[in-house]
Amino acid sequence: MSSLVILSDQDLLDVFVKAKKYQLEVMFIDTLLTEIERRGLNVVAG
């Protein structure tokens, strides 16, 4: 189980947007995206 489950849905999306903005490691971004998809959330492209 991912440690990302401790984040609220909004916090998870906020972290994802910031990770993309600052171009963090692709593996980290992929992990965030996997958790977002698992929760059935939609990422607002930006």
pLDDT score for 42: 82
pTM for the full model? 0.66
Cα dihedral sign, 45-25-15-33: positive
pLDDT score for 4: 76
How does pLDDT run along the chain (46 residues), one tens digit per residue? 567 778 899 999 999 999 999 888 999 999 999 999 999 998 765 4
Residue 7 is given by DSSP the state S
pLDDT score for 46: 46
Residue 26's CB is within 10 A of a number of other CB atoms, namely 9
pLDDT score for 26: 93
pLDDT score for 31: 93
d(CA 39, CA 5): 10
Half-sphere CA count of 1, side-chain side, radius 13 A: 4
